[in-house]
Amino acid sequence: MSKVNTFENEIMKLIFHNVGIPNLGDATGILPSTSNGRLYIALYSVSPTDSTNGTEATYTNYARVIVAREVTKWTVSGTSPTRAENIDAIIFPTSSSAETIVGVGICFEPAGVPKYFNTFTSQLSIINGSIPTIQIGQLKINED
């Protein structure tokens, strides 16, 4: 069974814009958080799967990048699938060691497991002095 496009859009707006979903459960629906909150973007040397958490990057100075759950940070648009995309570049800390990065994930906690993930079509070789960056609109999250 599939979700209708409007419900896919509501789910994405709840996650990426902190907008409630009306009329689900009772008349008040699923309410948004009291504050927008954050999403944590992580890089992986072994990509997550539906059943594994992957292996997060460990290059020297690596840290997850925090992106707010708000309309000024993510676009949500389209149907079949509905898609969220980053509005700003996501810039990770400068590396002072080497590592091969094969994927990316979106986590709900600073050290939590990925809720969305993607394996890159080509690996990213991090070397000393690299500044891993996900360019504007390049982190595409589908709800389908």
Structure token pair of residue 79: 């149907």
Q: What is the pLDDT of residue 23?
A: 87
pLDDT, tens only, 97-137: 999 999 999 999 999 999 999 999 999 999 999 999 999 99
Tokens coding 144? 């389908």
Contact 68, 14 (CB under 8 A): no
Please list, in sequence order, all residues whose beta carbon lies within 8 angstroms of the beta carbon of residue 136, skipping any fewer than 6 positions away: 86, 87, 88, 89
- For residue 84, which of 68, 98, 73, 100 has the smallest C-alpha distance? 73
Between CA 69 and CA 6 the distance in angstroms is: 19
Average pLDDT by stretches of 10, the chain with 144 residues: 88 95 86 91 96 96 97 92 95 97 96 94 94 95 84
Confidence (pLDDT) at 96: 95
Cα-based distances in Å from 63 to 19, 43, 48, 100? 28, 9, 17, 15
State the pLDDT at residue 27.
79
Please name the residue ranges forming H helices in 25-122: none
pLDDT at 32 (0 to 100): 87
Encode burial over 34-52: b for 16+ CB neighbours within 10 A, e otherwise. Answer: eeeebbbbbbbbebbeeee
Q: Domain spans of the chain?
A: 5-143
Nearest to 67 by CA among 102, 103, 42: 42
Amino acid 143: pLDDT: 84
Question: pTM for this one?
Answer: 0.92
